[in-house]
Structure 1
């Protein structure tokens, strides 16, 4: 029997600073194939090449990946500044309407890092351009030096709301995660429930209240060693079940707050 298909949102990338590609990290594909049990398919996030309607018919679910470019602040009504960094307007043009359509239809998605931020913006929320510049916040950015293992090492705790979907999924209110992001949620969007935070108050886990499908999204990078990490594995397994249920016509609602 064919595996359900998960569209992995690709990022614009230049090879040797000159050859344009749509790239998807290998660890994203590995997590989807090995833990979620689905067929990974990298999506070129460019509205000239794909449409939201076509993507929703071809794919059963979507992985909203991390990426170096940030959501453009015009998408949440703020002016561009140097602190906002690089952008990918083509990805914005695909993912933001895609997220809204998925929420409405009940089709599953899992947001990671930039994808987490995209979910908030798509639902009308805003972002801080640089978390580390806020009073009392830690530096959540990826360490500039070191090995991949050192950059993706567990660095801080995330605490979940009592009885919320993340608490129930992990069986624990506190987990250790990595952290590799500069921006973060400023104002939560409509129906966005911040279900997990770091000790400094940074939003780390969210879902869309009342959505009929899987909308769990996280600020950290669970795709790293997903098959072995005790936090990543249940998250990708739960997403895989939601995708398989959608593909089979069993459109079960996401876990709701107890």
Structure 2
């Protein structure tokens, strides 16, 4: 049987300051191919080229990747400010309705960093533009200096809800993760269950209550060192299992959500 296809939401870039491109990090493709055991397919996330309906027919599951541009605050009822950073309205126009459609249909997705935030916003939640500015919070941003390995190094603990979905998946109530984000979830959207938090209370893991498919999403970057990391590997393995179940049956397995 051919491996199922996972659509990786691409980001818009400008190469050499003049050539527009859609691209995805190699570590996303590696995690999908080597750990989830699926075929990675980079998606040009722009409604001029693809529709949500087409993507859901072509792909069996989706990875909602991280990315430098943020979800536009108008998507959660706020006015944009300089603190909100750069935006990608074309990606918003694909990712947000894709999340809602996958939740309704039971088609699996894994949200990562910006993707974690997209899942929350798609279901009516809100974000804060700069988590480190909130009382009691720390700086979750990527270190500006150092090697890529140093920037993606494990930097803080995430504690899961005891007995919750992530605790059962990881086999531990507390794990170490990297952290490379500036924005964060403030109010959870409808049916969003926050299932893990950083030591300062920042939401780090979620799923959609009652969704028939795989909806696990995390604020950190599990695609880094996914094959060897004891936290990343079970997450991508479970996602791959859900995608294969979908590809075989066209529906999510009943065990996916509790």
Normalised TM-score (structure 1) = 0.98
Return structure 1 stretches of 4+ with deviation > 3 angstroms.
253-257
Gaps in structure 1 of 5+ consecutive residues: none
Aligned to 1:211: 211
C-alpha separation in 2, matches of 1:30 and 1:13: 20
Aligned to 1:20: 20
> CA contact under 8 A between 1:204 and 1:220: conserved in structure 2?
yes
1:111 matched to 2:114? no
Name the SS for the 1:187 alignment partner: coil
Aligned to 1:221: 221
1:142 matched to 2:142? yes
Count of aligned pairs: 257
Deviations 1:36-75 (A, max 9, x none): 0000000000000000000000000000000000000000
> CA contact under 8 A between 1:132 and 1:182: conserved in structure 2?
yes
Q: 1:254 to 1:9 in 2, by over 3 A?
A: farther
C-alpha separation in 1, matches of 2:119 and 2:255: 16
Deviations 1:102-144 (A, max 9, x none): 0000000000000000000000000000001111101000000
1:64 matched to 2:67? no
Gaps in structure 2 of 5+ consecutive residues: none
C-alpha separation in 1, matches of 2:32 and 2:159: 25
C-alpha separation in 2, matches of 1:39 and 1:14: 26
Deviations 1:126-173 (A, max 9, x none): 000000111110100000000011000000000000111100000000
1:3 matched to 2:21? no
Aligned to 2:86: 86
Pairwise CA RMSD: 0.7
Q: 1:135 to 1:254 in 2, by over 3 A?
A: farther
Aligned to 1:44: 44
> CA contact under 8 A between 1:188 and 1:194: conserved in structure 2?
yes
